[in-house]
Structure 1
Amino acid sequence: MTERYLGSGTVAEDTAGLTGPVPAHLPGRLAITLWDFSWYTRAGDGDVYADLDAACAAAADRGYNAIRICAAPLLLFGGLGLDDLAEDLEIEGLGPAATGGYYGRRTRWYDTPGGYRVDLRSRLADLFTAARRHGLVLILASWEYQQSPSFAASPRWFEALDAVPLEERYRVLADAWDRMLDWIDAHGFRDLVALVELHNEVDFSLLPALADGGAREVRRLRQRHPDLLITASYGKPPHLAMHQVPGGLGAAQFHVYSYGVLDALQQRIDIRSEGSADFPNPALRALLLPDAPEPAEYGRPADWKLRATVVTDQMIYGYDWVDVAAWDAWLNEAYPPYAEVMRREIESRVIAIAAWARWQGVPALVGEGWVGYTPLHGTFEEGEIGRSLAEHGIRTALAAGVWGVVPCSNAAPHHPMWQLDDWQRTVNALVRDAR
């Protein structure tokens, strides 16, 4: 047989090992559970985060070694005149619904009954203490320009953030993080910080593009704290043009969602829009529970709460009143033509993120994924199809040298998927044992 030279494209790239170095005291791989803002918005008596030590113990039992949270740096250390609020924060959720109960009751992440107060700075110290006790590290982010303030009873938090001029928001965030890290130092928790994110999903938040000042502030914060990994995260990085992501980030903490069939359903029922004249349209009406009220009767959260979030009133109504059995049935029946493209999309996006990280010489993480935003009690992502897609993403990520990964965005105490403890142990062992 004659050997022929077919060009450098035939030479496999060596992707053994992580995309970039991580501090030696941190775990070799991170199995991440996404607690977001829920660790303080679902903390009332008897709720899933009421006992932080028990929640951390449950996470460790399921094989996690990292928790990703909204640390609320602007509320706690933003210098915005909110210290009294931070020490006595009343959690309300999206508020009482006009027909009884509360808005968001069957909407994932927004199912917050509220009705209690919290000293958030003290609670953060308690979380660090519990994390240390159970061998967990923390990924610290902010969701404050995306939704966190909407769960408060008072609009003061949101109004203070909203008053910051758009072009100043990244600087104010960086200064808040700088003060928070000093506080973390003073309390002896610095070794538990796996990563600091200037903000979660900057592309889906009330912030300028990261290139418009955000990357500069990341670099400034990294210079102030060179021993820490500091970055900002994207909800949907430009996978086909990763050169557009500004350099200087300390890690590639980007999210991988492949909506596919879910996106087809969402467009069909027009659930993510606002102000649609014919809402709910016939396709959505066919999926609603028999006792669903009309939108006008159900009402909507306070205007300021909707301004403080990235969700719409149509989403809240739709997810609160959809028949999840009908929802899941539609997705399962419609899935086959989307199956291969969703698998390939997850794979290609993970590989693009890892390749960018390797080019930049920084660790890569997938802090959220894999399918997308479903009703609280929907089971499509938790079921066989969703778990298969998640496992494909996890294996692809590990093979590409990704440092940290979530089993699924829904694998956390405030989601029903938390009950799939054996599955979480299995995939988290896969992550932790990767070489």
Structure 2
Amino acid sequence: MRPTFDRPFAITMWDFSWLERRWPGAGYEDWDQVLAELVDRGYDAVRIEAYPHLVAADPYRTWELLPVWNQQSWGAPSIVHVQVLPALLDFLRAAKRHGVAVALSSWFREDRDNTRMAAHTPTDFGQMWLQTLQHIDQADLLDTILYVDFCNEFPLEIWAPWLYADQLLRNAARYDLPAETLLTDVMPGIQSRASDRVVDWMRRSIEVAREVYPDLDYTYSTTTELTTWQSQDVSMLDVLEPHVWLADNDYSDYYKVIGYNYERFSTIGYDNLVRIGRQTYEENREKYDAALFRMIDTVADWSRATGKALYITECWSIVDYKDWPGLEWDWILDITARAVEYAAATGRFVGIATSNFCGPQFVGMWREIEWHQRLTSVIKNSPIDEDLRTRSLDR
């Protein structure tokens, strides 16, 4: 239920890895063990995939999920089979035993039948989430929920393809294109969160859940259009969750310079990162640090202007990284530490992550126990502005 913001949460992101990375050595085979390790590092919250589209379709079915990539260490690099319930409830029970709050989100993982495309209207979409919350409520686990993020990094096509389905069909029909036409040739451009359609989608979908569960915090996480927040209506959101990195934000050209383009099934991007990634940063450290800190200031200004608290669970250094030949962790840890300290001092964050690599599959970061403990102490002892600390009394 809605938390009081006496101090920030030290939060991490376990995305869909918590359920999809359970083969031997993948990191999440034993939830009690990995949650104990998380708490030992000082964390007290985690954001995970809740698979609301699969819960709404058939929560007890075994679903065959397709890989969203094979170059990243989040989730499975190949086909994987999952059953959402009772696994989600079992994970929530384990988190509760360890005193870990859980934020729910969804990356809308693609199954063999592409069930995620069933969300034709905001009401349909809201109903998916409502049904998921009802299962949690019936299991008497609603008190474990920190907040609900209706869609990861909305409205990127990779995570919200259902938002573009109708326009995609119109584009294909308009030009009478053959069946072998590439999807990229007809895919509409990313929709803006300032557009009437996207605002209406956010508002109406959240209303479905809020009507039944008014004491939960709801949001849509974001990573684009952060510098144009003034033009966006976020009145329907209870909290904000922007994702901020040094490598890719409106003030930084880092990925463009090194030649990283989010290649999901090719090593080219990582090859370029190995070749010149660290060197490019170190030769231009002042420039790139300034771009990162400027973006932190930007989202803090957004929070002040709207009166909405900030959570951040994906953040700070490089967007994509992993244990890999030629990729050292020390410079990533250094960037991250400075960013955490800078963000914590703003007084606007009520939940701060150290990184989106804070999981057992990222061995080079996970093993740095004292580093985690130092930063989670910084997070949990950082200030929260008065207007956010009294928020729960005003609603």
Which category describes the TM-score, using the shorter chain as reference length? 0.7 to 0.9
Of residues 195, 198, 218 in structure 1, which corresponds to 2:206?
218
Superposed CA offset, 1:236-266 (max 9, x none): 3433433413312111122222326996453
Q: 2:218 aligns with which of 230, 248, 269?
A: 230
Aligned length: 344
- Is 1:267 aligned to 2:246, yes or no? no
Residues 2-401 of structure 1: matches in 2 within 5 Å?
22-24=2-4, 28-77=7-56, 80=57, 82-83=58-59, 86-90=60-64, 93=67, 104=70, 106-109=71-74, 112-114=76-78, 117-144=81-108, 148-149=109-110, 152=111, 155-156=112-113, 158=114, 160-165=115-120, 168=121, 170-204=122-156, 205-206=160-161, 207=163, 209=193, 210-259=198-247, 264=253, 266-268=255-257, 270-272=259-261, 314-318=263-267, 322=271, 325-336=274-285, 338-358=287-307, 362-377=308-323, 382-384=329-331, 387-401=334-348
**TM-score normalised according to structure 1 size:** 0.70
Does structure 2 conserve the Cα–Cα contact (< 8 Å) formed by 1:31 and 1:63?
yes
Q: Say if 1:355 and 1:380 are closer, same or farther in 2 by CA, change over 3 A.
A: farther
1:419 to 367, 378, 383: 367
1:321: Cα distance to partner? 6.2
RMSD: 3.0
Q: What CA distance in whole angstroms lies between the structure 2 residues aligned with 1:263 and 1:381?
A: 22
Structure 1 residues 51, 91: closer, same or farther in 2, change over 3 A?
farther
- The 1:423/1:89 distance shift into structure 2, 3 A limit, reads same
Maintained 8 Å contact 1:67/1:137: yes
Take 1:184 and 1:27, find their aligned partners in 2: how far apart are those partners? Answer: 26
Structure 1 residues 337, 30: closer, same or farther in 2, change over 3 A? closer
Cα separation, 1, equivalents of 2:260 and 2:331: 25
User: Displacement of 1:392 after TM fit?
Assistant: 2.9
Mapped contact 2:73–2:362 kept (Cα < 8 A): yes
Counterpart residue identity of residue 239, structure 2 = A
Structure 2 gaps of 5+ residues are: 164-190, 384-395
8 Å contact kept, 2:9–2:380: yes
Q: Structure 1 CA distance, aligned partners of 2:2 and 2:150?
A: 18
Rounded Cα–Cα distance in structure 2 between residues aligned with 1:339 and 1:200: 25
Distance (whole Å) between structure 2 residues aligned to residue 65 and residue 227 of structure 1? 21
Partners of 1:32 and 1:367 within 8 A in 2: yes
In structure 2, the CA distance between the partners of 1:377 and 1:73, relative to structure 1 (3 Å rule), is: same
For 2:74 and 2:17, the matched residues in 1 are separated by 7
8 A contact 2:105–2:149 mirrored in 1? yes
Q: Distance in 1 between matches of 2:77 and 2:336?
A: 32
Distance 1:357 1:37, change over 3 A: farther
Q: Is the counterpart of residue 403 in structure 1 residue 350 in structure 2? A: yes
For 2:25, the aligned partner's letter is: G
For structure 1, the residue ranges without an aligned partner over 5 or more in a row are 1-20, 95-102, 273-310
**2:381 corresponds to 1:433:** yes
Rate the CA distance shift 1:198–1:265 in 2: closer, same or farther, 3 A: closer
The range that moved more, 173-182 or 396-405, is 396-405
- Structure ID, larger Rg: 1
> Partners of 1:238 and 1:328 in 2: how far apart?
24
3-state DSSP class of the match of 2:227? coil
Instruction: Report what 2:169 is aligned to.
Output: none
Which whole-Å CA distance do the structure 1 matches of 2:359 and 2:6 have between them? 20
Whether contact under 8 Å (1:380, 1:386) holds in the other structure is: no
CA distance in 2, matches of 1:404, 1:230: 14
- 1:384 deviation in Å? 3.4
SS at match of 1:53: helix
Deviation at 1:376, TM superposition (A): 1.9
Which amino acid in 1 is paired with 2:226? P
Report if the CA contact (8 A) 2:247-2:254 is conserved: no
Q: CA 1:223–1:356 in 2, change beyond 3 Å: closer, same or farther?
A: farther
- Percentage of matched positions with identical amino acids: 22
